Chain A
Amino acid sequence: QVTLRESGPALVKPTQTLTLTCAFSGFSLSTTAMSVGWVRQPPGKALEWLALIDRDDEKLYSTSLKTRLTISKDSSKNQVVLTMTNMEPVDTGTYYCIRIHNSGWFDNWGQGALVTVSS
């Protein structure tokens, strides 16, 4: 059974850096062709893909946010970490960790972590 769980701060101040961790089980990033990534959703709005990392440490980022994002992995711990710099109130929303099938669809989702950006 595949599970993904996000953890991180619920509140960050403007200009701060957000660090989110995804702990996953039921598969291994070092042996599978799957990738792990992140999607976010502002309250009441649509989904937005952010980043992904694969077993070869190849990384892809959203074009609009790539200067602010860094994704990394610790395959031995089955964890993926996302950092987003210079947080603003518009970055408020739920951040989901996802497993990405090697063909590209998002076949498993974490429960999500709500992050509020406010002073």
Chain B
Amino acid sequence: ELVLTQSPGTLSLSPGERATLSCRASQSISSNYLAWYQQRPGQAPRLLVFAGSSRATGIPDRFSGSGFGTDFTLTISRLEPEDFAVYYCQQYSKSFTFGGGTKVEIK
């Protein structure tokens, strides 16, 4: 099974700051088959980024995805109040697996 490890587990930041979230795969993910999701408290996840770096419809450009192979990053350039949430990476190269999540909390 292709395992995804997200770090850090929790990120404490202030509004306006930059957030950098990491997702590392146990083996190379072909064709950048990696997505990122945001889950706000009490809500269903929503797609932010697919194919490693393509933003989903309606996602603000402060969200950006990058990386290849086994190391991927989600960057939020300037945190807005609504961005404090849990973020999951997911691979769809070999079946489907999710990372354990990174919680972005208000410092």
A binds B: yes
Which one of A48, A60, A105, A111 contacts B47 once the chains associate, using CB atoms below 8 Å?
A105
* Interface assignment of A93: CB less than 8 Å from any CB of chain B: no
- Chain A contacts to B: CB under 8 angstroms: 46-49, 60, 62-63, 96, 101, 103-112
What are 26 sample pairs from A and B whose C-beta atoms fall under 8 A apart?
Answer: A46-B99, A46-B101, A47-B45, A47-B90, A47-B98, A47-B101, A49-B90, A49-B95, A49-B98, A60-B95, A62-B95, A63-B95, A96-B45, A101-B50, A103-B51, A104-B92, A104-B96, A105-B90, A106-B35, A106-B45, A106-B47, A106-B90, A107-B50, A108-B47, A109-B46, A110-B44
Interface size band for B: 20 to 34
User: In the complex, are the beta carbons of B47 and A63 less than 8 A apart?
Assistant: no
Which one of B33, B44, B47, B101 contacts A107 once the chains associate, using CB atoms below 8 Å?
B47
Q: Which partner residue on chain B sits nearest A61 by CB separation?
A: B95
User: In the complex, are the beta carbons of B1 and A63 less than 8 A apart?
Assistant: yes
Q: Which partner residue on chain A sits nearest B36 by CB separation?
A: A105
* Interface assignment of B97: CB less than 8 Å from any CB of chain A: yes
User: In the complex, are the beta carbons of B37 and A106 less than 8 A apart?
Assistant: yes
Residues of A within 8 A of B93 (CB): 104
Q: Which partner residue on chain B sits nearest A48 by CB separation?
A: B98
User: In the complex, are the beta carbons of B44 and A105 less than 8 A apart?
Assistant: no
What's the Cα separation between A106 and B98 when bound, in Å? 12
* Interface assignment of B13: CB less than 8 Å from any CB of chain A: no
Q: Which partner residue on chain A sits nearest B91 by CB separation?
A: A104
User: In the complex, are the beta carbons of A49 and B56 less than 8 A apart?
Assistant: no
User: In the complex, are the beta carbons of B95 and A107 less than 8 A apart?
Assistant: no
User: In the complex, are the beta carbons of B98 and A103 less than 8 A apart?
Assistant: no
User: In the complex, are the beta carbons of A103 and B92 less than 8 A apart?
Assistant: yes
User: In the complex, are the beta carbons of A46 and B100 less than 8 A apart?
Assistant: yes
What's the Cα separation between A106 and B44 when bound, in Å? 12
One digit per residue, 1 when the CB lies within 8 angstroms of any chain A CB and 0 when it does not, for chain B 61-75 equals 000000000000000
Residues of B within 8 A of A60 (CB): 95
* Interface assignment of B88: CB less than 8 Å from any CB of chain A: yes
User: In the complex, are the beta carbons of B56 and A96 less than 8 A apart?
Assistant: no
User: In the complex, are the beta carbons of B33 and A104 less than 8 A apart?
Assistant: yes
Residues of A within 8 A of B47 (CB): 105-108
